[in-house]
Structure 1
Amino acid sequence: MSGPGNTCRRADLDILCVTPFYKPAYVYGGPTRSVPVLCEALAALGNSVTVYTTDANGPANLQIDTTRPHLLNGVAVYYFRRHGASRYFYSPELEDACRRRIGSHDLVYVIGNWTYPLLAACRSARAWGAPFVIAPRTSFMIGTWKHGLVKKLVYHLLLERRLINSASALHYTSQLEATQSRWLRLTAPAFLVPNPVELGEFCSMPTRGAFRCAFGIPADAEVALYLGRLDRRKGIDLTLASFARCLRARPSAYLVLAGPDEDGYSRILAEAATAAGVASHVVLTGYLDPRTRLGALSDADVFILTSYSENFGMAVVEALAAGLPVIVSDQVGIADEIDADGAGLVVPLDQAVVADKLASLLASPEERKQFAKRGPTFVAKRYAPMAVAAAMEAQLRCLV
C-alpha cells in the first residue's frame, strides 16, 4: 500500500484528532488504549496534537469537566457532552467546535464510522478545505457488516460514503483490515500503519495469584484468558465451545472471559457454558479496571482470541507484551506477523483445531515459557510508540 503521496514537507504538524471516545473510557476496548498512545507519541515528536471527543463511557458518561481542555501527556483533550446513552455519540457541542475551529489545524484525523463525530468532523473539514484522514478501526471490514447489514448499508450510502471517498486518506492498521475492506470499493487512497502499544505498564506486573483469589480460581489451575469486549464478532462462542472440548483433556483448566458486556451477550455465553456442562470452569468477570486487567494477564497461562473479524488485535499485543503465550485465529489483523516471528499460535476457525492447540499449550509449560520470551521482543520490534508515530507522521506530512 503506497500511501497518499511521495512529496512531503518537513515542519511540525498541528493535528486535530476527532474520536467518539477517549481514555479513561476503557469500556470501549482497544481504541481507547491505542489512540491516546498514538496521539501522545505524535506530540512527543514535536507536533501539536488536539483531541475532540465526547464524555461517553458506556451507558454512563465520564465524570469530567467539559468546559475546558485537559492536558494529558502533551495532548490537549476537549471532552464534549454526549447527549443520550447510545453508541451514536451525538454531541452538537462537538459539532459546533469542529465547525468553528477545524480551519486552525493542518489536518484532521477521524476515528471510526457510524457515529455522529465522523459526520461533524468530515463535513467541517470539507467546508474548511482541510485535509482529513479516516481510521475505520475494523468498521469497513466485511465481517462487521453481517449484523444489521441493511441498516448499515442505507446509513453508509445516504450519509457517509461521499464523505469517506472525499477523505485525503484512509488509515488501516493491518494488511488484513485493508484487504477485507476492499469490498466497499472506496476510492480514497489508503496507507498502512499499525497501532502502537505502550510497553511501560507491562514492566511491573502484579504479583501472580491475586486475580485468581479474587475470582475463586484455584492456584494450580491452568487458565486460558479472553480479554476484551464481549462481542459476537470476537468469536467467543468458538472459544467457549473449543474450551469445552479441551476440558476433557485438561480437566483442571479454567476459561476466563473478561470484559464489558455488549447487548446482553454475557448472559448468552453463561447459558452456553451451562449447556456445555462447563459452567463451573468458566468465569465471566465483567469490566476490569486497568490494574485488575494487568492482574488477569499476570495470572493467566494462555491468551486466546478466535475472532471472526479483527482489524488489529490490541489485546493480543498487550498480552504478548506481558509475556503471555497467545492463540489467535487467522482472522486477527496481526496473525501473519505473529506467525512469521513465531510469537504465538495461529489457528483456523475450526473448533477441533482450536481445542487441540489450547490443550497442547496448556499441557506444555516449556513451550509456554518459550513463547513468553518471544512476546515482548516481538512487540518492541513492531509496535513501539515512537517508531509507529514516526511512520504515521511521515504519512500525514504527505497530506498537508
Structure 2
Amino acid sequence: MSNDLVASVSHLPKARVRRVLQVCPYMHPSAGGPPVVVKRLAENASRFGWDASILTTSLMCPDDGTELCAELSRQFEIKVLPIDRPRLFGHASKAREALDEAIRAADLVHIHTLWHPLNTMARRACQRHNVPYVLSPHGMLDPFAMSIHALKKSVYLRLIERRNLLDAQLIVFATNEERQLAGRTLGRFLNSAVVLLGADNPADGSGSVPDATVRRRFSGGADGRRVLFLSRLHPKKNLETLFRSMRLVVDSHADAHLFIVGSGERSYEKSLGDLARRLGIASNVTFAGFLRDEEKWAAMSAADVFVLPSLQENFGISIAEALHAGLPVVVGQGVNISTEIASARAGRVLCNCQSEVELAAQIVEIFEDRDLRERMGRNATRLANERFNWRETARCQYELYERTLAPGPYEPATI
C-alpha cells in the first residue's frame, strides 16, 4: 500500500460507536436480578462495539441514591434520580429532563421491568426523540406474578403498561417458558426474542474465599449437613415450606443447619423468625442477611445443597450462581430453568413444591449420599459453564440490538 493511500485511509472518519441507555427503576443490589442483568450488559458493551449508560432511581436505597451513584459511576456513566416515595411523581419534571438528555444521546434504549412510572416516561421520551426501545419484563407478566395484587396490576396493564409493551420494537424474555407464560397474559408477541441470562461464578473477580471467613460466618452444621437459601425474602420464595421441611430434616439429622441469605420486608423477616421458633428449629437456622462478593461465595463454599423452592422464578440468577459454585440444587417446578437442571442431573425438581415431606426427602437424600452429591455438583458446574455465561448473554443481546436497528422488517428470533 502506498504512503499516499495509507495517509488517506488514516484520515477516514471512524465509525461512530453506538450507544445504548439501560433504564431500570432500581439498581440497588437488594432488588434482585434486574440490577445484575443491567450491570453485566453495561460491563460488556465495549466488547461488542457499544457504549452503555444507565438511568435509574434511588428506589430501595437507604439514602437519596448518592452512595449507589458513587459506587456504579466508577464503571459506568449513570444517572440516579432521587425519590422520596416509591414513585416518581414528586420529581416528574426532573425525571423528564434527565430522560430527554440521556435518550437524545442514545441510539437505542433498553427498558427493564414493569409497574413503574419511569417506564412510561422513558417510552414517551423515546417517541419524542425518535429513538427505538426494547423492553425486558423480567418475569412480571407471568400469570403467577400477575396474581399478586391482581386488580391493581390488571388496571395498570390495561391503562398504561400495555402501551409500553406494544410500542416496543422488541420484547426480550429470559427463557422460552417466560415468553409462553407471558403470552397467557398479553397474547402473542409479534416481535420477541429469548436471551438466556448468565450468572457470576466464584472466579469472576471474587478470588478464593478464605477458610476463616467460611468458619466464622457459616460454622453451623456438620459436614454434609448445611442447606443454603440465597435470594430475596418474599412469600413467593416459599420459605414457609422450607422451614417446615427443615423440621423433618432435623428429626433425622439433629445437626442439620439452614442458612438464610437475603433480605426482605422487616415484618416478613420477623414472621420467619417466629415460625422457626414455633417449629423448634431456631437453633438450626441462621439469618445471615444480604451478602455480596466474597461473603456470598463463602456461603456457597460452606453449603452442601442449595434450595430455592419458589412458587415462581423467572430465571433465578442465584440458582445459576449456585450451579457455578458446584452445588446440587433443589428447586420448584415454578423455576423457569428447572427443565435444564433436571436434564443435566444437577439437582432435583420438586413435583409439589408446597410439600414439606417431598422437600425434606430430597434434602436428606443429598445429605446422605456423598457420591450423589459430588456427581450432581460436577453436573452443576458443567451446566452453568455451558449455559449461563454473561459474555454469551451479552453477545446475544448486543446482536439483537444491532438487528433491531437494522433497516427493514425485524424477524423474531430465539437466541
Return the alpha-carbon distance in structure 2 between the equivalents of residues 87 and 263 of structure 1.
21
Distance 1:98 1:329, change over 3 A: same
Contact in 2 for aligned 1:206/1:295 (Cα 8 Å)? yes
Structure 1: stretches of 5+ with no match in the other structure: 1-9
Distance 2:208 2:86 in 1: 35
1:255 match: secondary structure: strand
Q: Which residue of 2 aligns with 1:193?
A: 195
Residue 127 of structure 1 corresponds to which residue in structure 2? 128
AA in 2 matched with 1:292? E
Question: Is the Cα–Cα contact under 8 Å of residues 209 and 219 in structure 1 kept in the other structure?
Answer: no
* Partner residue, 2:310: 307
Residues 1:150 and 2:151 aligned together: yes
CA distance in structure 1 between the partners assigned to 2:232 and 2:218 by the alignment: 19
2:324 corresponding residue in structure 1: 321
Measured at CA, do residues 65 and 381 of structure 1 come closer, stay the same or move farther in structure 2, by a change above 3 Å?
closer
1:366, 1:44 → 2: CA distance? Answer: 41
Secondary structure of the residue that 2:310 maps to in structure 1? coil
Q: Which amino acid aligns with 2:306?
A: F
Question: For 1:230, what is the secondary structure of its paired residue?
Answer: coil
Distance 1:281 1:328 in 2: 21
CA contact (8 A) 2:222 2:255 kept: no
Q: How far 1:265 sits from its partner (Å)?
A: 1.2
Equivalent in the alignment of 2:95: 94
| Inter-partner Cα distance in structure 2 for 1:159 and 1:196 | 31
TM-score, normalised to structure 1's length?
0.88
Q: CA deviation at 1:185?
A: 2.0
Q: Which moved more, 1:10-19 or 1:151-160?
A: 10-19
Aligned to 2:360: 355
Q: CA deviation at 1:234?
A: 1.2
Q: In 2, distance between residues paired with 1:202 and 1:371? A: 25
The CA deviation at 1:129 is 2.5
* Structure 1 counterpart of 2:10: none
Distance in 2 between the 1:308 and 1:220 partners? Answer: 29
Tell me which moved more, 51-60 or 214-223: 214-223
1-side partners of 2:71 and 2:310: how far apart? 39
Tell me how far apart the structure 2 counterparts of residues 264 and 360 of structure 1 sit (CA, whole Å): 33
Provide Cα deviations, 1:109-143, integer angstroms capped at 9, x if missing partner: 00101112212211211222321111111211111
8 Å Cα contact 1:69-1:79 kept in structure 2: no
Q: 2-side partners of 1:87 and 1:252: how far apart? A: 46
Q: Is the 8 A contact 2:65 2:81 kept in 1?
A: no
The aligned counterpart of 1:171 is 172
Is the Cα contact below 8 Å between 1:52 and 1:79 reproduced in 2? yes
% identity of equivalent residues: 24
Contact 2:232–2:263, Cα closer than 8 Å, also in 1: yes
| 1:13 lines up with 2:18 in the alignment | yes
Paired residue for 1:342, among 342, 345, 351? 345
SS of the residue 1:180 aligns to: helix
Question: Residue 251 of structure 1: CA displacement?
Answer: 2.0
1:267 corresponds to which residue?
A: 270
Q: Contact 2:24/2:35 (CA < 8 Å) preserved in 1?
A: no
Structure 1 match to 2:292: 289
Secondary structure of the corresponding residue to residue 204 of structure 2: helix
Residue 58 to residue 85, structure 1, CA distance change in 2 (3 Å): farther
> Is the aligned partner of 1:367 residue 2:377?
no
Instruction: Say how many residue pairs are matched.
Output: 386
Per the alignment, residue 9 of structure 2 pairs with none
Of 149-158 and 182-191, the range deviating more from structure 2: 182-191
Question: For 2:216, which of 213, 216, 229 is the aligned residue?
Answer: 213
Aligned residue identity for 2:20: I
Corresponding residue SS for 2:373? helix
Q: Which has the higher contact order (CA 8 A, sep 6+)?
A: 1
- SS of the residue 2:320 aligns to: helix
Aligned residues of 1:138 and 1:177 also touching (Cα < 8 A):
yes
Question: Is the 2:61–2:68 contact (alpha carbons within 8 Å) kept by the matching residues of 1?
Answer: no
Give the partner amino acid of 2:240.
D
Deviations 1:179-212 (A, max 9, x none): 2212222445211001122333377341346345
CA contact (8 A) 1:257 1:282 kept: yes
Question: In the alignment, does 2:254 pair up with 1:254?
Answer: no
Contact kept? 2:224, 2:367, Cα under 8 Å: no
**Is the counterpart of residue 385 in structure 1 residue 390 in structure 2?**
yes
**Cα RMSD (Å) of the superposition?**
2.6
Letter in 2 for 1:84: D
Q: Give the structure 1 partner of residue 84 of structure 2.
A: 84
Amino acid at match of 2:197: N
Q: Quote the Cα distance in structure 1 between the aligned partners of 2:73 and 2:200.
A: 21
SS in 2 for 1:288: coil
Q: Give, in whole Å, the separation in 2 of the partners of 1:294 and 1:175.
A: 29
Matches of 2:389 and 2:300, distance apart in 1: 20
Structure 1 distance, partners of 2:362, 2:68, is 48
Larger Rg: 2
**Superposed displacement of residue 213, structure 1:** 3.0
CA contact (8 A) 1:37 1:197 kept: no
User: Does the 8 Å contact 2:87/2:117 carry over to 1?
Assistant: no
